[in-house]
A and B are shown apart, each in its own frame.
Chain A
């Protein structure tokens, strides 16, 4: 069975500092991995994805994520946090080996950027 873990419910970072939001996964085969961001009372916005190729993936709003197969991780990072980055972040995974189309989401990590 596939699963995603986001071990931190909340992450606090001072504005201008680097940020990391952690994600680990469990899936059969090589995973498709995604990061989404959600602002209050809104749907999810796509940030970036890893399908294959370079382990470091760059996405929207200056975010990037690194796929680490040995650690089964896909942590989201940004070199310098902005107050406007404060939101709820979801990591998600899909296995290409599964016949169903399900994308599994982590429970989310609330990011607070302190001015």
Chain B
């Protein structure tokens, strides 16, 4: 398989501050990365699709100014939660795909964000 590393695994921040989450494909180049949010006992909600070198495509209802996504290289995408509020507390997961659309995506370990 392929390895996707997500960092940090847990973060606690104060309301109003910003938090950056990194997603790295360790042993392959990922032209496309995906960011998800998962609420307790619920499925994954796709937030945005990130393509290297271009702007991310956000899903309806996701604030692009609040959730900044950067995909600066073929192995790194970042999600920055700006001016975090307690309601942003959640489990955030990234995934990356190696190649064509019929290939599976590989997931990072997830980041548990708690805003206090």
Residues of A within 8 A of B (CB): 32, 34, 36, 41-46, 49, 51, 90, 94, 96, 100-103, 105-108
Contact = CB atoms under 8 A, between A and B. Distances in A.
Given A43-B109, A44-B93, A49-B104, 17 more contacts: A32-B101, A34-B104, A36-B107, A41-B9, A41-B110, A43-B6, A43-B95, A43-B107, A43-B108, A43-B110, A46-B107, A51-B102, A100-B49, A101-B32, A101-B101, A105-B44, A107-B42
B106 interface: yes
B111 to A, nearest CB: 9
Contact of B110 (A34, A42, A102): A42
B101 A44 contact: no
Given A41-B110, A41-B112, A105-B44, A46 B102 contact: no
A51 B99 CA distance: 14
8 contacts: A43-B93, A43-B107, A43-B108, A44-B107, A51-B102, A101-B32, A103-B46, A107-B42
B69 to A, nearest CB: 14
Interface residues of B, number: 26
Interface in B69-116: 91, 93, 95, 97, 101-102, 104-110, 112
B15 to A, nearest CB: 23
Contacts of A41: 9, 91, 110, 112
Given A43-B6, A43-B110, A49-B104, A90 B49 contact: no
Please report whether the interface of chain B is mostly helix, strand, loop or mixed according to DSSP. strand
Contacts of A107: 42-43
A12 B32 CA distance: 37
Contacts of B101: 32, 94, 96, 101
A32 B102 contact: yes
B21 interface: no
Nearest to B51: A101
Contacts of B44: 44, 90, 105
